[in-house]
Chains A and B, each alone.
Chain A
């Protein structure tokens, strides 16, 4: 510890602390403009100067405190200096600036008042300031080219916070400075208007801006000066990173979202988290229960897009991002909750009576809370009486989880994503992290800048590849060959961790039996990576002190997805990269609560906490807890359920927040299956494509309107708090489920989500020690068996949760994807997501900012292929597979290899899943979204 004297007051500090931190510790505030504790100190505003004993002035934010140093923070000299500085800055400042006008939050103007340069009304009062302002040049107009952010150079004080936030925190490198001296301006790219630059609208710059130079458009345009602001601490509703948020409210309205500092996301957000919340206010929100009118039977799609008569360039409602609402609504009449709920219970029970318990099924959602997921599976298991409950995890990481359970006995991530700070080598494969887990990606990019090596393996070049030490564009679907080759070299050259393998792994010999056939020379033509590079990478992995593996849908969404994941697990087991800091297996979770929904038992084979339904001991425990007898047979998975609906085995379904119409493969088949259901009830926030097939639709409260817990990709359980009131009669899903449970004879008098959480946690080991108080603001990483237990972010330091405590190496042979390109369908189609949108677009396409940023569907096609087809940027093409056809605009790019195309699946008017194949991985039952054969032909621009 060192001792520092601040204004005569002694404080003790850790060595390395700055003078500014010393002052903080002493309770002395030093004004700053350029400094933000989250950013690297640069000391450019010079407002934080302090005076040393010898009279030297020195910036406190970037000066390390020497032991025994003494300084003063507010001498006359310092105050004079600060006055001069503020005078100079205020001389060219727009007074009041947009931040001051709206929320009174301009730090410069606040200091101006404090230092007597501005009067109580914020008007210039200092004679020299008034004089200087007469000399100021005319102000440039506000740059309003971005849909979300206003840029006012006249309010900019060049503190460089935005530059550091953009370059060093988010690592987007968009903002810099142009000009020098007095002519300096912050600049986007090479001085483009913000909205035309490469800015990804993460808003980090706005969050750090101390003045009105970068302001939230909504805030500037809607908040009045005297309006009190309120902050609600919650989390983001979008991806599995689970960023912590502060929702800023003026009256009943949300006016802005800020990243809330926390151990997970560190206060960062992406464009969806910051600007994508306004779907909750969209006029399409369901506000009352709806019952299908008799005239709309037999059931079928209600709108043109859902009918599928627009896919081929036919009629389309101009510019509509979402279903033709009025058209769909006509088919339903308003009903009371009582009537709607009674009808659902009655019809489902009738089907059960007539066709048997297994004729019912339910899809829950990874967008709902843990409490709701728990109640939903309880309703299906205890109420419907079977295990036909699944959710979209089936479509994302089912294969990963299958492989993880098989090889190491647990499907959870072993280390948190921020452990990249402690690793040597980061392997990111099949993950477009920058767009799909943007905030996690910022930590990866930062780690690379700090000297970590990054290996990116992906057939479609992700933006993260720009940061990679090695980028391997493997042939689509050749992952097994690629990783087998690496492991071949690791074993051949004895670079694997022999000690770890001896102590903690079994199956080495039989594993070698497989990978011995994958010498780099042999694997190279299969995966498209030169043998020499395979050798080099294998050696880098073998000699790295620690390696972390992150993967996404590019690994899992294949008919051999489980094999892909087995390879990654084997790679970590072979090299001893599990159970230590900076190591581990991290399948990046897609939905905000896909981890939690799985933990809570929204899986057909397991009860909460992965306890098998087939295990009689487990089952009897749940029978006792729920007071009913339970079906021992594991239920149907998502695609199996749809098949069963088509074949008539499943007749009645309850759908909570899922939209299989757009999210499941082979839409034409899903359409037929949904239409064939005798009874479908949907609880959702919007009338989705799937809901067009419903008999009853229940209006749910959105994420922002309810309390509940969500478990992120790090296994961190966090509280989401209500920010808005539900519209109309909408109710939280947990209330709806409670009502249905009661109607199925299961007592469910939960007065709050907390009570549901208690019941759920008590039935698990991983959540047992958790309650809402323990979660607090930062959340907690499970397993937590006792409330006072320390967090265990790293799992399996000593043993794996398998019978013998060992991990298992499972060798897999390379097998080609299900549908290879041929003369008729010569291109390989890859599908996935884009930064601005979420899954089926239900939410994001109803967010004004996000829909403006990314309004229309497109197909990425290699530049050379585009040239060969004679199509250019913006031209339309018809993309057809053996299952369907879509028409959409072309985006020529180098991101996809020749012979490959990519379509984001968010757009109903060109639904990628009309084309995809519904072939499944035999273990994880996950469809092969990432590979099918398509044909491309130029097409006329669709009308409308």
Chain B
């Protein structure tokens, strides 16, 4: 399995001056773009990406090729939006890519733009990513000077302008339509769908929104071929027609109570325990893990005895999590208070709810208030059921909100209370009261 995996997406990370165009080119950079422009029509590129079964790396795992195919045939303008707003707690793989290998990102963007016939690409980058912003802008400048961006990319008939747009620090702007609204200069409110961005996106024109890592994968698919991509990861279960498979390499972020936090590139499907033990260096201080977030906070929690679950697009739902998410693994050791952890989670989502849909705005707020009361030693056992009822009633999965933020807020609540109910009940019964000082440790790293 992962033992012999040679990094592809992270191949340039750690190479001196990896950010520079010259170094990138020496290491084979922009070869894929040249080949694409020379040998393939845009439709053929789309077809290859469809065949590769590449699924979006941003969190939802939507098939990338299918997203591209949703673009109307008769469109005259297309925008490519690159989602670099990476704000899911625990996630930093896009940052690694942008800071260390910005040209890889640009090459992926150029190929995707060519495939979707976009002549304008906007990179919506999280405000806090100052270094990534500067590095990427530098790379964009280099690429323009080298004729890789701008009119007639690499001498072809294809032209592309890339703009870097900084967000202002709102989690909701990572949601693709919230991102689009924000890009247009409006309040980052997710839009009611349909219409999906493929039909009406940026400035109400057909738009593709892809994550940074997804676009980097596109580059390697064009470079190494579809078969190479399909040879990595977990094939689709032939008995499950709804399983679209989990192919290709994936960047896993490991953080929390581990000895070696970091970003690791592995084939999709690595078991969570293996990732923590072998790559993350095991739980800090020789302790046992109590709970693990498998893919960013919004996916919910795994218990210790669920750590053998493979981290792919299909397996996490089986243990009650929302999904693979951003594949950001956050580990909490046996000393962590789950009550406190969930309080932090609720505070985060209550703060980040855009406030548009009633169930999310009110629901996240009430969950936070109820958790606060519990934390202050004034909780009641019935509060747990009220929390569950609230959590079950909000989100796009029950169908009560416009976007998935509420699902992300609900899943930690559902999984924490259902998997650690004893701890909650004990806490409530004991009448304990956590002070501000003691609540600053574990969850702090998750937010």
Contacts and interface: CB of A to CB of B under 8 A. Distances in A.
A182 B355 contact: yes
Nearest to A182: B365
A182 B390 contact: no
Contact of B362 (A49, A91, A131, A135): A91
Q: Name the prevailing secondary structure of the B interface residues.
A: helix
Interface residues of B, number: 34
Contact of A177 (B355, B369, B386): B355
B389 A91 contact: no
B398 A89 contact: no
Contact of A182 (B172, B361, B386, B393): B361
Given A135-B373, A180-B170, A158 B399 contact: no
Given A135-B373, A182-B364, A84 B355 contact: no
B167 to A, nearest CB: 14
Interface stretch (A38-46, A200-208, A548-556, A872-880): A38-46
B201 interface: no
B399 A182 contact: no
Given A57-B400, A135-B373, A44 B364 contact: no
Interface in B395-410: 398-402
A916 B119 CA distance: 61
A182 B362 contact: yes
Nearest to B370: A135
| Contact-size category for A | 20 to 34
A44 B400 contact: no
A182 B350 contact: yes
B399 A91 contact: no
Given A84-B393, A181-B351, A182-B350, A89 B358 contact: yes
A41 B369 CA distance: 31
A525 B48 CA distance: 65
A55 B387 CA distance: 23
B400 A158 contact: no
A30 to B, nearest CB: 15
Interface string B399-443: 111100000000000000000000000000000000000000000
B358 A85 contact: yes
Nearest to A86: B358
B354 interface: yes
B59 interface: no
Given A49-B399, A84-B393, A158 B359 contact: no
Given A135-B369, A135-B373, A180 B359 contact: no
A47 B170 CA distance: 26
In this complex, the member of A44, A81, A184 whose beta carbon has the largest number of chain B beta carbons within 10 angstroms is A44
B364 A81 contact: no
Contacts of A33: 358
Contact of A88 (B170, B350, B362): B362
B361 A184 contact: yes
Given A56-B399, A84-B389, A181 B359 contact: no
B400 A62 contact: no
B356 interface: yes
B314 interface: no
B76 interface: no
Nearest to A127: B382
B368 interface: yes
B366 A91 contact: yes
Contact of B365 (A45, A47, A181): A181
Contacts of B359: 46, 84-85, 88
B368 A44 contact: no
B370 to A, nearest CB: 7
Given A46-B357, A46-B359, A91-B366, A181 B399 contact: no
A280 interface: no
Interface in B345-380: 350-359, 361-366, 368-370, 373
Contacts of B357: 44-46
Interface in A160-215: 177, 179-184
B224 interface: no
A361 interface: no
B192 A43 contact: yes
B278 interface: no
Nearest to B393: A84
Nearest to B356: A44
B27 interface: no
B413 to A, nearest CB: 14
A604 to B, nearest CB: 56
A128 B390 CA distance: 11
Interface in A136-158: 157-158
A614 interface: no
A158 B355 contact: yes
B131 interface: no
Contact of B386 (A42, A43, A128): A128
B187 interface: yes
Contact of A132 (B351, B366, B401): B366
B366 A58 contact: no
B355 A179 contact: yes
B56 to A, nearest CB: 22
Interface in A91-142: 91-92, 128, 131-132, 135
A181 B386 contact: no
A85 B390 CA distance: 9
Interface string A834-876: 0000000000000000000000000000000000000000000
A80 B389 CA distance: 10
Contacts of A181: 350-355, 361, 364-365
Interface of A: 33, 42-47, 49, 56-59, 62, 80-81, 84-85, 88-89, 91-92, 128, 131-132, 135, 157-158, 177, 179-184
Given A84-B393, A131-B382, 10 more contacts: A46-B359, A47-B358, A84-B359, A85-B362, A88-B363, A158-B361, A177-B355, A180-B351, A180-B353, A182-B361
Interface of B: 170, 172, 187, 192, 350-359, 361-366, 368-370, 373, 382, 386, 389-390, 393, 398-402
16 contacts: A44-B358, A44-B402, A46-B400, A49-B400, A57-B399, A59-B192, A84-B359, A85-B358, A85-B362, A92-B362, A128-B386, A131-B382, A131-B386, A158-B358, A177-B355, A182-B361
